[in-house]
Structure 1
Amino acid sequence: MAGLGEGGTRFYDRLLDECCSIFTQLAVQTAPFAPRGIVELLNRTSSLGVTVEQILHRMPVATLDAPDGADRDEEFLRRYLEHVGRTLDTVELFGVNVRTYHPSTPLSVACISLTVAPDATPARSVHPAQLERNSPWGRLASLAGGVADAANVQVEQALNGTSRFLLRGEAGSGKTTLLHWLAVTTARRAFGSDLADCNERVPFFIKLRSYAGRRLPAPEQFLDGVADPLVALMPAGWAHRQLAAGRALLLVDGVDELAAEDRRSVRDWVRQLVRVDSDNRVVITARPHAATARWLLAEQFGSAVLQRVSVADIRELVTHWHDAIRGVPDLPCAVEEVPVYERALLAQLDSSPHLQGLVTNPLLCAVLCAINLDRHSTLPPDRMGIYAAALDMLLERRDVERQIPADGSQSLSARDKTYLLQYLAWRLSINGRSEFARDDAVLRLGDRLGSMPLLAADAAAVLDHLLQRSGVIREPAGGRIDFVHRTFQEYLTAREAAEHGDVGLLLDHAHRDNWRETVIMAAGHANEPRAARRPAAPGVRRAPARSSPAAARRGLPGDRGPAGPGPACSRGAVPPAPDPATAR
């Protein structure tokens, strides 16, 4: 525009505007522009769609079963399986207790393979179609070589025969330990050919005793008592998803530890769970008198009974026990002497069929090992003597012989401790329970201490003392107190009943399966020469024994002490055991 005047400049600007307008109109109205513009817009839209899809893939998919999505399921499963593998992979070494902890050993060291006899009786009364090879009864029967003549098989084989299994066994036969082993082996993905499908499953160990008098757990509560630290981290609906996918291995322990009237709710609860997905595996344990082989027949459960340990099993258990304790500090003998005691016990077992007859299950075998070590190879002559010696060992002799001083605030003798523990056992048994809330245990100890005016002690402090030093009760979960094994609860309940002449109450409960062992052992206590004239514990105020079953049914008053000379369970007052071996 150099050299243009004012008029020329205005003309140039006007011309430029007109040219730009014309070229723009030409470009817009020319035919190729519209398709090219649309292509560009579609390309941009497609690009946006891919971006949105990528974002959606990163977002959790909310469904009814997974309201917050399932993207964290695998991470949580890994942590849960690791926790189960650590937490349940222990067996307490009965009889080897020190001041501040209870030594334990891995299941892989302590366990032996147990044998079962598949229940054949129910199958004989069901429709023949139910005995086909693919039914639970048919598979278990075929393992045993026929329904009518069932033979013993390894428990792994029996479990492999059906996905729904009712395992029945007497006290101390290893039911709970077996469920722990199943949970740990599943968590570690360590099964071989038998039960190989469990390597893809998620184990849930459910202890029914924790739900006495309470609603049975919903799936979101399946971690309680086993994986408490992980409960708050569990993705919403995670347990439900495992059930819905048919991946769960439900290990339900202790039908017998619930009152008889509560067991119907267990059956209804199990029925609801197995209907979620038929591919889930379920193993339930109970004592034989608490659940018959037909108890879950309608739900297609196979059933088998744990057999008494064989002589070879006893030798293996003795070896495992002595191997496990060699790393335990503060043994009652030098470590190098442990093999000597092991050989001495094995020699006594080999030379005494009577002693072999006493050791019918893993619990009694462990108790016998502990007594053999504690009493320098001097063993009791019968089952009642074994339990009495075990209590004596746990309550008194170990601390005395190791010269462990009593706590400054507690001066409890072995008789005092027994008297207190008897009352705890009694209160649990008459209420059909297997564990206390801690506050309830303190309350009950306070009741019993009220009858011991010469013993000035705080109930909470006494409970702590018994937990730390007795080895008879424990606190398996925060705020829950139970006996180290239910057999000791029954033994002490029987002792309480025999000392106070509660024949009427025993007879009132004799028909209940969860009182069977208590009634049998009460007969054993009553037949002891000292049972009717047992001296009172130091500091105990005597009170008259109750004189009628009606008084017995009212429960134990807090100020009652051990009975003096008076009525005790006579030999004929309590129904005898089915066979002499059981009575021992």
Structure 2
Amino acid sequence: MRKLLVLGKPGAGKTTFLKYLAIQCANSQVLGEQVPLFITLKQFAETENQPALTTYINQLFTDCGVTEAQTRDILNQGKGLILLDGLDEVREEDSDRILNQIEQFTDQYHTNSFVLTCRIAAREYTFEKFTEVEVADFDDQQIETFVGKWFQAKESDLADYFMEQLKETKPIKELATNPLLLTLLCIEFEDSGAFPPNRSELYSRAIHTLLRKWDDKRRIVRQQVYKKLSVQRKEDLLSEVAFTTFKGGEYFFKQRDVEQYIAGYIRNLPDAKTDPEALLLDSEAVLKSIEAQHGLLVERARSIYSFSHLTFQEYFTAREIFVTANLEELANRVTEKHWREVFLLTAGMVRDASKLMQLMKNNIDKLVAGDEKIQEFLSWVNQQSNSSDVSYKPAAVRAFYFSVSFGGDRDFYLSLSLNLDPRFCSDSSLSLSLNLNIFLSLERALDLDFDLDLDLDLDLGRNFRDRFTMPEQKYLLQQLKDQLPNPEEDKEQFKQWWKVNGKDWTEQLRAVMIEHRNIGHDWQFNKQQQELLKQYYNANLLLVDCLNSDCYVSQEVRQEIEDTLLLPVK
């Protein structure tokens, strides 16, 4: 397996895994005949003069005392283990260039081994010759092993007590499947013996513990200014740095820039030095103290810094928004996917998230308010929801119709519908009661995931005839059903039949649906409308996820949002 794409959620351990591979390879424990090279893709993407990946790798080897001829031999002989970290952290404007560089380099030096990491669903990438794997969540045994090793130097029964408490607290146990969050849980438990109920509180208390212990761990030269900062001031400083860099799309930043951010903060503190040179020296001392004493900021390359994990940058960004009550600016970013975690964390921080939810809802509605065709589509979604003889919340039913009619994936309609009405998924007859345009997803199912989606669609299809009361409808649909070969007898034969006849068959079914149930319309949205609907679609999902997170929202606001979700703008 020469090419591997490692996907994972934030904090799953993707970067740690690559570093582990590099160390194991260097120690001849894994791929001992190869030479490991770790590359942070965002750093490569933002290198001055935008060098080709080959040139960049040559320079990295040169810095380590390897000649260009030796580097060429390593690559030509397939002896390189090239570890490419953080594709999702590359800026949007650099993305196409970096993708092309990776494709060209991996094709030219295809005999080498490549491992590439990326957050799950960060962007839609296609690497034809890469095998995709996902970093799995910790299972119960792995959690217990991790906890045991964490507390092995402590009291003998502390790990057992941790596991007992973890099993009794389901939401926290779900967090513990993530290695980074489990680390924070261990820090929190070790310090206070209890678990906080929400994620933002977890980050807050764990980081507060780290910050409080900074000055007791090590002594750093020129740390006097830093030692005067209270824990809150330290958090304020990191929050300001995080917000400034995250807002600018900077996951990696130059040392002189972050020192300027620090100087801008500490110059306003009591007894701060006013001399620019002295202030700059103090800023450097503060930066080095932060790096040495807790590692929330780390030097990735010479004079290049970042937060040690993107999750910390997201947390401190959310904290800055919370402290400054800058909810309007956050709400304006409701369509920017990389702000998702910041929204969820901020919602958990504010005392009352009602205002944030309302701002998000207003901005989401504005996205499509000026497009008549989309408004017509939303009116149709509402009409279909109102005509469905089911006892579920209207917003959940609208989410269903929106998804299957626009072509969204089932994860969306299940997530949005189930979050709005937990009964939605418990009754398997619901999908049948909601008309049959889900059956039209059969064509997509064959293209995307034949076995998985086909089974579901055919199960629905076998029962659809009974949901129509008029004899003419039943007759027409039975005729269409009779045309289908039995996929249980030969799925490959069915697949081949569908390739030849599927389009005509679908159009016949669509015509019956439109005439008798007003479903199955081909809306023919242009590319701009499709992108707009996709943004609208994802923003509503984010809004519902925020509503269902551990945040406080008044019942009136919650009901108002639910009542108007996925409705045309009046």
Which one of 10, 21, 33 corresponds to residue 200 of structure 1? Answer: 33
Residues in 1 aligned to 2:150 and 2:271: alpha-carbon distance in whole angstroms: 41
Residues in 2 aligned to 1:248 and 1:573: alpha-carbon distance in whole angstroms: 42
**What do residues 235-280 of structure 1 show as CA deviations (whole Å, max 9, x unaligned)?**
2232232222222221100112221222212210111111213222
Residues in 1 aligned to 2:321 and 2:541: alpha-carbon distance in whole angstroms: 13
Assess, with a 3 A threshold, how the Cα gap between structure 1 residues 507 and 243 changes in structure 2: closer, same or farther.
Answer: farther
Residues in 1 aligned to 2:85 and 2:270: alpha-carbon distance in whole angstroms: 41
Letter in 2 for 1:465: S
Equivalent residue runs for 1:177-576 within 5 Å: 177-191=16-30, 198-214=31-47, 215=50, 218-219=53-54, 221-222=56-57, 231=63, 233-292=65-124, 295-297=125-127, 299-323=128-152, 326=153, 337-375=154-192, 377-396=193-212, 399=215, 407-410=223-226, 411-452=228-269, 455-456=272-273, 458-527=282-351, 575-576=543-544
Between structure 1 and structure 2, the one with the greater Rg is 1
Would the aligned equivalents of 2:318 and 2:345 in 1 still touch at CA under 8 Å? Answer: yes
Q: How many angstroms does 1:367 deviate by?
A: 1.2
Residues in 2 aligned to 1:368 and 1:223: alpha-carbon distance in whole angstroms: 42
Gap runs ≥5 in structure 2: 274-278, 357-362, 364-539, 553-570
Determine helix, strand or coil for the equivalent of 1:273: helix
Between 1:418-427 and 1:479-488, the stretch displaced more is 479-488
Residues in 2 aligned to 1:467 and 1:257: alpha-carbon distance in whole angstroms: 21
Residues in 2 aligned to 1:386 and 1:504: alpha-carbon distance in whole angstroms: 25
Would the aligned equivalents of 1:247 and 1:280 in 2 still touch at CA under 8 Å? Answer: yes
Determine helix, strand or coil for the equivalent of 2:132: strand
Residues in 1 aligned to 2:176 and 2:326: alpha-carbon distance in whole angstroms: 30
Q: How many angstroms does 1:491 deviate by?
A: 0.2
Q: RMSD between aligned alpha carbons?
A: 3.5
**What do residues 430-486 of structure 1 show as CA deviations (whole Å, max 9, x unaligned)?**
121222221111111122234445655643333233333354223344322222221
Residues in 2 aligned to 1:582 and 1:223: alpha-carbon distance in whole angstroms: 49
Assess, with a 3 A threshold, how the Cα gap between structure 1 residues 402 and 189 changes in structure 2: closer, same or farther.
Answer: closer
Residues in 2 aligned to 1:321 and 1:253: alpha-carbon distance in whole angstroms: 27
Letter in 2 for 1:270: I
Which one of 167, 186, 189 corresponds to residue 6 of structure 2? Answer: 167
Would the aligned equivalents of 2:44 and 2:56 in 1 still touch at CA under 8 Å? Answer: no
Q: How many angstroms does 1:179 deviate by?
A: 0.9
Gap runs ≥5 in structure 1: 1-161, 192-197, 327-336, 533-548, 550-571
Structure 1: which 4+ aligned runs deviate by more than 6 Å? 400-404, 581-584
**What do residues 7-62 of structure 1 show as CA deviations (whole Å, max 9, x unaligned)?**
xxxxxxxxxxxxxxxxxxxxxxxxxxxxxxxxxxxxxxxxxxxxxxxxxxxxxxxx
Q: How many angstroms does 1:581 deviate by?
A: 6.7
**What do residues 73-92 of structure 1 show as CA deviations (whole Å, max 9, x unaligned)?**
xxxxxxxxxxxxxxxxxxxx
Assess, with a 3 A threshold, how the Cα gap between structure 1 residues 480 and 277 changes in structure 2: closer, same or farther.
Answer: closer
Q: How many angstroms does 1:368 deviate by?
A: 1.1
Would the aligned equivalents of 2:6 and 2:117 in 1 still touch at CA under 8 Å? Answer: yes
Residues in 1 aligned to 2:115 and 2:205: alpha-carbon distance in whole angstroms: 35
Assess, with a 3 A threshold, how the Cα gap between structure 1 residues 401 and 246 changes in structure 2: closer, same or farther.
Answer: closer
Number of aligned residue pairs? 359
Residues in 2 aligned to 1:223 and 1:244: alpha-carbon distance in whole angstroms: 13
**What do residues 375-411 of structure 1 show as CA deviations (whole Å, max 9, x unaligned)?**
2x2222222221011111011256579999x954441
Letter in 2 for 1:206: I
Letter in 2 for 1:255: L
Letter in 2 for 1:301: F
**What do residues 188-243 of structure 1 show as CA deviations (whole Å, max 9, x unaligned)?**
3324xxxxxx3332222111232353226633543877x7xx72521223223222
Which one of 545, 554, 558 corresponds to residue 577 of structure 1? Answer: 545
Letter in 1 for 2:203: Y
More helix by proportion, 1 or 2?
2
Would the aligned equivalents of 1:503 and 1:574 in 2 still touch at CA under 8 Å? Answer: no
Letter in 1 for 2:57: F
Q: How many angstroms does 1:285 deviate by?
A: 0.6
Between 1:204-213 and 1:165-174, the stretch displaced more is 204-213
Q: How many angstroms does 1:417 deviate by?
A: 0.8
Residues in 1 aligned to 2:34 and 2:93: alpha-carbon distance in whole angstroms: 32
Assess, with a 3 A threshold, how the Cα gap between structure 1 residues 180 and 468 changes in structure 2: closer, same or farther.
Answer: closer
Assess, with a 3 A threshold, how the Cα gap between structure 1 residues 402 and 208 changes in structure 2: closer, same or farther.
Answer: closer
